[in-house]
Structure 1
Amino acid sequence: MAQAGFDFIDLFAGIGGLRVGFENIGGRCVFTSEWNAFSQQTYKANFGDEHPIAGDITAIHEADIPAHDVLLAGFPCQPFSIAGVSKKNSLGRVHGFADETQGTLFFDVARIIAHHRPRAFLLENVKNLVSHDKGKTFEVIIRTLTEELGYEVHWRIVDARAWVPQHRERIFIVGFREPTTFDFDQLVRPKKHPTLADILHPEDGTETAEPHYTEGPEAKVSDRYTLTPKLWEYLQKYAAKHKAAGNGFGFGLFDGTGVARTLSARYYKDGSEVLIAQPGKNPRRLTPRECARLMGFDRPGSNKPFVIPVSDTQAYKQFGNAVAAPVAVSIAETMAPWLSNIVALKPAKRRTVGR
Structure 2
Amino acid sequence: MYDKALANAVKAFQNDAGLRPDGVVSGTTLRELNVPIGQRIDQVLLNMERWRWLPKKFEPDYLLVNIPEYRLHVVENGEEAMTMRVIVGKALTATPIFSDKMEYVVLAPYWYVPFSIVDKELKNRLADNPQYLDHLDMEVVRGYGRTATVIDPTTIDWANVTQDNFKYTVRRRPGPKNDLGNAKFIFPNSNDVYLHDTPHGELFSQVSRNFSHGCVRVEEPMKLAAYLLRDKPEWDEQSILDTVAAHREKYITLTKKLPVYLVYLTAWADADGHAHFRDDIYGHDKALARELFEKPAGAAPARVAARPQPSPAAALAASPKRS
- When the two structures are superposed, what TM-score results if normalisation uses the length of structure 1? 0.23
Normalized per residue, the structure richer in strand is 2
Normalized per residue, the structure richer in helix is 1
- Radius of gyration: which is bigger? 2
Q: Which structure exhibits the higher relative contact order, with contacts defined as CA atoms closer than 8 Å and separated by 6 or more residues?
A: 2
